[in-house]
Amino acid sequence: EAGVAQSPRYKIIEKRQSVAFWCNPISGHATLYWYQQILGQGPKLLIQFQNNGVVDDSQLPKDRFSAERLKGVDSTLKIQPAKLEDSAVYLCASSPSVGGNTIYFGEGSWLTVV
């Protein structure tokens, strides 16, 4: 079974530029998550989708971050304009449903803002 796919794996941009990350979850998984992991910290949830609807985006900095999952399958996370403090790993994850089921993570997209 294919895992969670993410691209690009690595990206370096200058501050105030924009960047987009793509995620394709495990086939059949209704729930998709984007987490931000700053170096030396645990991952923090940015946004959670159930099919193509947003369940939780309370910690998404909406002035610069946006995410969509238009057809309930793959998803895109965009940052515009980027700040230095956005340097982090952006982890996409998916799970079959709610209620304690395992959440499977992709390998992450590593962003460096210079």
Partner 1 sequence: AQSVTQLGSHVSVSEGALVLLRCNYSSSVPPYLFWYVQYPNQGLQLLLKYTTGATLVKGINGFEAEFKKSETSFHLTKPSAHMSDAAEYFCAVSGGAGNKLTFGGGTRVLVKP
The residues binding partner 1 (CB under 8 A) are 4, 31, 33, 40-45, 48, 55-56, 91, 93, 95, 97-108, 110
- Pick between residue 81 and residue 104 the one whose CB is nearest to partner 1: 104
Q: How far is the CB of 35 from partner 1 (least distance, A)?
A: 8
**Amino acid, res. 106:** G
What are the backbone dihedrals phi and psi of residue 86, each rounded to the nearest 5 degrees, phi first? -85, -5
Strand 109-113 vs strand 10-13: parallel, antiparallel, or unpaired? parallel
Closest by CA to 25, choosing from 92, 97, 77, 100, is 92
Q: How far is the CB of 54 from partner 1 (least distance, A)?
A: 11
Q: How far is the CB of 85 from partner 1 (least distance, A)?
A: 18
